[in-house]
């Protein structure tokens, strides 16, 4: 399961409205890719189509898609959002990450 904090939900809904993304017909896609200073980076985008390899979650009225290869890396993660002075934007609280880079945009599953 993938979760979204209340702050992240509100920011996602705001962005969806600004970009003309229809909430009931669109999805927030969570994923990972092999890149970044720690090895694996997060991906976050909007999508209108479910692919065969996707798993659909719903949390806080947001439809979430995660491809089957990303699920083991993201299971139990929480998408959050910050407007603070120490950093603005979306970030993941990932219980599977053993090491994260300084900016928090990439992670590793092994201790460094």
Which pLDDT value is given to residue 76?
A: 94
Residue 24 three-state SS = helix
State the CATH number of the domain containing residue 18. Answer: 2.60.300.12
Nearest to 41 by CA among 30, 54, 55: 30
Q: How many structural domains does the chain have? A: 1
Paired sense of beta strands 54-59 and 78-84, if any:
unpaired
Written as tens digits, the pLDDT of the chain (112 aa) is 889 999 999 999 999 999 999 888 999 999 988 765 557 788 999 999 999 999 999 999 899 999 999 999 899 999 999 887 666 788 888 888 765 655 555 555 545 4
pTM: 0.80
Which pLDDT value is given to residue 6?
A: 96
The string of DSSP codes covering 48-83 is S---TTEEEEEETTEEEEEETTTHHHHTT-EEEEEE
> Whole domain around residue 87: which residue ranges?
3-108
Which pLDDT value is given to residue 10?
A: 95
- Rounded to whole angstroms, the Cα distance separating 46 from 39 reads 23
- Using an 8 Å Cβ cutoff, are 107 and 35 in contact? no
- Using an 8 Å Cβ cutoff, are 4 and 12 in contact? yes
- Rounded to whole angstroms, the Cα distance separating 69 from 21 reads 26
Which pLDDT value is given to residue 7?
A: 95
């Amino acid at each position: 399961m993938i979760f979204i904090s209340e702050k992240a939900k509100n920011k996602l809904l705001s962005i969806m409205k600004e970009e003309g993304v229809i909430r009931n017909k669109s999805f927030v896609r969570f994923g990972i890719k092999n890149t970044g200073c720690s090895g694996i980076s997060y991906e976050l985008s909007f999508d209108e189509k479910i692919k065969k390899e996707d798993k659909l979650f719903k949390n806080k009225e947001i439809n979430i898609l995660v491809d089957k290869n990303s699920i083991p890396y993201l299971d139990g993660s929480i998408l959050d959002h910050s407007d603070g002075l120490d950093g603005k934007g979306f970030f993941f609280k990932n219980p599977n990450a053993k090491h994260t880079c300084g900016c928090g945009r990439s992670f590793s599953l092994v201790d460094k």
